[in-house]
Structure 1
Amino acid sequence: MDNNVSVVKKEQNTDPQQIPLWIKILHFKVTIIPLYIFIPMVILIFLLLLEDKYPNSLLGIIPFMALAGYALGELGKRTPIVNVIGGAAIMVTFLPPFLVHMNWIPAAVVDSLTTFMKSSNILYVNIAVLTVGSILAMNRTVLIKGFMSMFIPLVVGTLASVVVGVGVGTLLGLGTFESFFYIVIPIMAGGMGEGAIPLSIAYAHILGGSSTDILSEILPAVMLGSLSAVILAGMLKKLGEKRPDLTGNGVLIKSGDNTLLLKANKTEREISYELLASGLIIAIGMYLLGEYLSKYISIPAPITMIILAVLAKVSGVLPKDVEDGAAMISRFFVTLLALPILFGVGVAILKWESLISVLSVPYLITVFLTVLTMVVTGFYVGKKMNMNPIESALVTACHSGMGGAGDLAILTAANRMALMPFAQISTRIGGALTVIIATLLFRWLH
């Protein structure tokens, strides 16, 4: 017994410089997985694929998503230039479509992953957990101030982006009508499921054509707009590191009470398995309630879920344990699942052919300046409104994001996941209003 204690103490007091290099290498973590686990798992997956025995169930999907997501995230963080602009989120989201296009990911894996992503709705589970958890973890006063304040930078940023995007597109020969309805509007429509798809259906109904054809025309703007927002989010992160006075490190509203701001981001309790379970159930429960109510109030489930979470937080109807559990499960998803889910989105949802089909210089310039205008406007309007300008710019940037996946990528690139509830308001409500207004204008102007 004494010998064991002495050995443990000796190991604890070992000089790091005396540790063999090969042990250091094996303990290097690929995002969160050490190499001594990562390498054997990669070899095992390769052997199973080689013999065509890789399972198409969750037993195969989960490790592939995790290992690929963590590996690409690590690569993004260590790639020069890319690592400055949110490399992990960019690499994990936009490299997989290219890999699928080149057939460098086995077809069986792509098919299984696509089926899983579309049938499981894991993206919506992720957004529900992150959104509800973020809201319930926030300080009540800061939450109220944030939701009341963010609409002004969002509206001003949207209007400024329309003017700049349409103006630039027209000057570069893309056409005023096309620039507005097929570039600027899709960027701000709220992603694919809640934005581009209903927008393409509405356009097709008015034109009498195929919604699939229209979707292929507007989807590149959605994807490139989201990519532009991710790049700018990474730049905003670096700006915050150089200019701490411009950021609240995830807190949207400035306050003279530093204790209040610290409390808004501070987690008091250690992880509890029981509270994790309750947090997961309450998050999914709010989404399901939103789904039920949407049939009667004509408001999409994700938006209803946000409203329910805000009402629960503002009213204080939920016990502190439940709020803590929601915050815990949110942190759990951010740490373990963000990169794997982004990889799944890149494989199953994004299409490389749609992305490159419109890669012309005028198109790229129009898209980027549209998003840049939104971000810059959000930055300066937020600053004037006593908001932390970097956080205000990020929330506004999420109006350019590709739905929930875009919000996840943007906030991951900026390392500001605490802004998820505000990002969801920007994406969901801003996107829904954009689709409604654009449809009415399209019918009137066509």
Structure 2
Amino acid sequence: MKKKYFGLELPMLLIISVIIIFATQMGILSQDLAGGFALMLVIGIIFYEIGERIPIWNKYIGGGILMAFLGTAVLVYFNLIPEDYVALIDSVNSKPMNFLNLFIIMLITGSILGLNRDLMLKSFAGYLPTILGGVIGAAILGILGGLIFGVSPANTVLKYVLPIMGGGNGAGAVPLSQIYERVTGDAASNYYGFAISILTIANIFAIIAGAILNNIGNSKPNLTGDKSTLLRDASEIISDEDEADTVKISIIDYCGAILLALTFYQLGKIFSDLVWDKIVPSVPIHTFAWMILFVAIANGTGIIPASLRRAAKDVQKFFTKNMILVIMVGVGADTSLAELFAAITLGNVVMALLIVVGAIFGSAIIGRMVGFYPIDAAVTAGLCMANRGGSGDLAVLGAADRMGLISYAQLSSRLGGGIILVIGSILFGLLM
């Protein structure tokens, strides 16, 4: 049987790649969703297959997922992708097309609707303490690192821990810089420039750590579950076979599942922008946090037919296995290696690493105390706090082979990120 690469035999993959790369270099590749997807998939598949075949890298560093991310960043850094098509990749992944949002919407809906109801309710209940455990662990090791390199505990927390654990760029570093400007009177850009650089360093460590934790889990299965649930006693909670796992569905059910997922997102946006923002404008709650709540309610009440739940799980699997490469290429194109290199000093690298390690141990310890598998708690409540938000979540979960935990990862980025903003509002006033 011939080897296939994402369904393509090697000659066909090479022909397709030559056509797309030639059109790109000649400037005639269509600058729309079709052209953007074609270019991103070709880049993603090539780097993925390379990364999966490099010894050590493929098992311990991040494999094809990380290679797709870093490889694209290198292409952009050396101007090997024409500027117009770098902009096209960015527009597909984020605004205005925002495929990243669509990806997360499909994963959230499928992962939550695929959970046993009792299992879902019990695991969500213990998740907030696990997030806080990660934040505390990050602060403790971060402060220790700061003392080694002559950085005061206050500056360590404000300039290192908060931006790294803040839920990414748009939901973390940007609003933190605005809070900084409002409290101190100094320009927000002075805080943001360093914050996003240190966050980028931590994001790479978080992705690598996800791959390492996955390998630890593979060698010590008692530390991890089935990669889609956090609870150690899940088998005791689930007593009956889930109907969604056995029901027969048709191709048309997938359309209904996709529309259902999109509607949950719009419902979350209504509550985020129209309802909650009018009631408590000073404490914003992200659309994805509301969406997770509504999907969980729908699953808990049993109002979603088994056929749609099964279809939603299948759609999630399709996006997880195939479209993750589009996301990784988009994230790589948006990563400035020049800014990253400028921020790389021994002190910054070691402190960022210690903060990520602290997040791992803090969330793993508290997670185990509340009944979670420590590795899965560390990946979601720890590493998915210490990365670049939604895109960082997907990179970490991809490297850790735990895309089924996306709903928990999004709670970390959205709910956890909101907690960091509240903490930042208080600490900027007290410590600056």
Q: Please, what TM-score do these two structures have when normalized by structure 2?
A: 0.91
Q: Identify the residue that residue 368 of structure 2 maps to in structure 1.
A: 383
Residue 205 (1) aligns with residue 182 (2): yes
Q: Greater CA deviation, 149-158 or 135-144?
A: 149-158
CA contact (8 A) 2:158 2:424 kept: yes
Residue 290 (1) aligns with residue 256 (2): no
Q: Identify the residue that residue 38 of structure 1 maps to in structure 2.
A: 13
Residue 76 (1) aligns with residue 55 (2): no
Q: Which amino acid aligns with 1:90?
A: L
Judged with a 3 Å threshold, the aligned counterparts in structure 2 of structure 1 residues 179 and 41 are, in CA distance, closer, same or farther, namely: same
> Which of 134, 145, 154 is matched with 1:168 structurally?
145
Shift of residue 263, structure 1, vs aligned partner: 5.5
Residue 214 (1) aligns with residue 200 (2): no
Q: Aligned partners of 2:20, 2:192: CA distance in 1, in Å?
A: 36
CA contact (8 A) 1:191 1:406 kept: yes
User: Residues 276-333 of structure 1, C-alpha deviation per residue, up to 9 Å, x if partnerless?
Assistant: 1111111111111111111321322111111111111111122222222221211121
Judged with a 3 Å threshold, the aligned counterparts in structure 2 of structure 1 residues 101 and 261 are, in CA distance, closer, same or farther, namely: farther
Q: Aligned partners of 1:272, 1:79: CA distance in 2, in Å?
A: 40
Judged with a 3 Å threshold, the aligned counterparts in structure 2 of structure 1 residues 263 and 217 are, in CA distance, closer, same or farther, namely: farther
> Which of 176, 190, 201 is matched with 1:224 structurally?
201
1:124-135 to structure 2, matched below 5 A, reads 124-135=101-112
> Which of 208, 230, 233 is matched with 1:255 structurally?
233
* Unpaired stretches in structure 1, ≥5 consecutive residues: 1-15, 17-23
Q: Please, what TM-score do these two structures have when normalized by structure 1?
A: 0.88
Shift of residue 70, structure 1, vs aligned partner: 1.6
Shift of residue 47, structure 1, vs aligned partner: 2.6
> Which of 368, 381, 388 is matched with 2:353 structurally?
368
Q: Which amino acid aligns with 1:329?
A: V
Judged with a 3 Å threshold, the aligned counterparts in structure 2 of structure 1 residues 440 and 384 are, in CA distance, closer, same or farther, namely: closer
Q: Aligned partners of 2:200, 2:73: CA distance in 1, in Å?
A: 11
> Which of 75, 88, 91 is matched with 1:115 structurally?
91
Q: Identify the residue that residue 302 of structure 1 maps to in structure 2.
A: 288
Shift of residue 185, structure 1, vs aligned partner: 0.6
Residue 53 (1) aligns with residue 28 (2): yes
Q: Which amino acid aligns with 2:332?
A: G
Q: Identify the residue that residue 315 of structure 2 maps to in structure 1.
A: 329
Q: Greater CA deviation, 94-103 or 379-388?
A: 379-388
Between the two proteins, what is the percent identity of the paired residues?
Answer: 27
Shift of residue 32, structure 1, vs aligned partner: 4.4
Q: Which amino acid aligns with 2:152?
A: G
Q: Alignment partner of 1:179: what SS?
A: helix
Judged with a 3 Å threshold, the aligned counterparts in structure 2 of structure 1 residues 271 and 341 are, in CA distance, closer, same or farther, namely: farther
* Unpaired stretches in structure 2, ≥5 consecutive residues: 278-284
User: Residues 226-278 of structure 1, C-alpha deviation per residue, up to 9 Å, x if partnerless?
Assistant: 22121111111111111122211212102273693996798435674212111
Q: Identify the residue that residue 77 of structure 2 maps to in structure 1.
A: 101
Larger Rg belongs to: 1
Q: Identify the residue that residue 411 of structure 2 maps to in structure 1.
A: 425
Q: Greater CA deviation, 28-37 or 73-82?
A: 28-37
Q: Aligned partners of 1:263, 1:391: CA distance in 2, in Å?
A: 23
Shift of residue 401, structure 1, vs aligned partner: 2.2
Q: Aligned partners of 2:55, 2:344: CA distance in 1, in Å?
A: 24
Q: Aligned partners of 1:302, 1:256: CA distance in 2, in Å?
A: 25
Q: Greater CA deviation, 296-305 or 77-86?
A: 77-86
